[in-house]
Each structure stands twice: as structure tokens, then as C-alpha cells.
Copies of this chain bind each other. A is one copy, B any other.
Amino acid sequence: MNPRTGITQIAQAYPDRVEVRGRDLTGDLMGRLSFTEYFHLLLTGEEPTEEQRYYLDLLLVAIAEHGMMPTNVAARMTLAADPGSLQGAVAAGILGAGPVVLGTSEECARLLASGREPLEIAREIHDAGGKVPGFGHPVHKPQDPRAERILELADARGVSGPHVQVARQLRDAVAETWGKPLTMNVSMPIAAVMLDLGFPSSAVKAAPILARTAGLLAHLAEEKEHPLGFQLAKAAEEAVDYEP
């Protein structure tokens, strides 16, 4: 083999057809798969089961949009400054989809898959002065309604398995360790349900970014019609004093 040659398993375009994950894009996939099913196929090489499809839709809907969040603010300010570059504004927004705001699902998944005792986890993090991934929310108190709804639907459809169980034990362990209940936010049940449904860990990280892109595009379409970007920037600027 040529040492310069690498392999991709995703897709190839030919003059008269496009092949994706071993399937014919135009003859087979287009018109048959929903975008959510196609996203699963792209990411994992497999079409989802009906339960996987249902929950992937559910989770993407749960986290796509949450109001005038920092990522949406940054994206709108960027579009205001460069109205011709929708992709630049989307990129600026996605760059804010970092661990603090969006990336805890992955950490939650690691915790849930660790096989460790929930109470032991909670105590160790508490004693180190840390925060347990998936707990606490600046707006939602005492409960994150999205988290509760995901668990409710997972129970009702019979997909709650061992990872959902550990998530609930972790909630109790956190309450006991901190001496009061903390809000279990949406990241924890997302991770738990995805693991119980057999999603790979790459999907746990990728899904929030795709979801958030949809929300960003909505804000940027609105920004195009009704600009708020400079007003947002002005309010931010005025919240800070200069003191050399």
C-alpha cells in the first residue's frame, strides 16, 4: 500500500453518482431518510433503530434553542459587523459551544460509563471543591424541565436502562453530599439515554453542536430582519467600567 494513502469510510462523489456509507445517495437515501436518520448514518455508518431515531430527534429538539444565550449573542454581534457572512456568524457562535456552556454531555457520559459508585463520585468531587458535571443551572430551578421530560419519555417508552438508573442515583448522591438537591440539567439525561440506546460517544458530543447550529441559524435569520447585534454589544459594553 502507498504509505501516502489514507482511508475514509464516509463518502465519495463520482461523475454520475454519490456514494455515502456504501449507499447510493440519490437512488436510495434522498427522499427515504429524514435528516436525523441521515445524521445518524453519517456519524455511525448505521441507520438508527426507531427508538434511536425517536430519541435523537428528541434530544436535538431539547437543546437546539434556549433564548438569548451567549452563543447567540456572539453570533448576532458578528453578523451585525459582517452582514454578508452568515457562515462567519455561525462559526463565531459555534466557537462558544465549549465545555462550560454545552460540552458537559460528554463528561456526563464518561461519569456514567465509569462503573463507579455514585456516592463515591459525588463525595470525591465535593471534597475537591469541584462541580459535578450535569448538575446546576443558572436559570432552571429547582428542576430543569427538559431533563425531567427526557427521563419521563424514556421511562414511558421503556428505554431507560442502567445509565439512566445511575443518573438518578447520582442525583440522590449529589443531594445527600451537598445537603440539598441540585438541579440535574439537560446534559445528564441526554448522556444517559444515548448510552442506554447504544449511541457511540462521538454522537454524544456531536449532537449538541448540530442542535445548537439550528438555533444559531434561527437567531441569525431574525438578526437579518430585525438587527439587534449592536444594541446587544452596547448593553454589554455599558456593564463594564474602565479603570486603568
Contact = CB atoms under 8 A, between A and B. Distances in A.
A128 interface: no
29 contacts: A4-B234, A6-B239, A10-B215, A10-B218, A10-B219, A11-B67, A18-B145, A19-B244, A20-B65, A26-B62, A26-B146, A30-B150, A30-B153, A31-B153, A35-B56, A35-B60, A35-B61, A67-B242, A78-B92, A83-B100, A84-B85, A84-B98, A84-B99, A89-B95, A91-B91, A202-B225, A210-B210, A210-B217, A228-B240
Interface of A: 4-22, 25-27, 29-31, 33-36, 38-39, 42-43, 54, 56-58, 60-62, 64-71, 73-74, 77-78, 80-92, 94-103, 139-141, 143, 145-146, 148-150, 153, 200, 202-203, 205-206, 209-211, 213-215, 217-222, 224-226, 228-244
Nearest to A61: B38
A21 B17 CA distance: 39
Contact of A98 (B4, B38, B87): B87
A6 B67 contact: no
Contacts of A233: 69-70, 73, 236
Count identical subunits in the complex.
4
A97 B85 contact: no
Contact of A30 (B13, B34, B61): B61
A74 to B, nearest CB: 4
B210 A206 contact: no
A241 B36 contact: no
Contact of A240 (B6, B27, B140, B203): B6
A6 B241 contact: yes
A134 B239 CA distance: 29
A140 B242 contact: no
Most buried by B among A217, A228, A239: A239
Given A86-B209, A88-B85, A31 B58 contact: yes
Contacts of A65: 10-11, 20, 25, 42
A215 B72 CA distance: 22
Contacts of A13: 66-67, 139-140
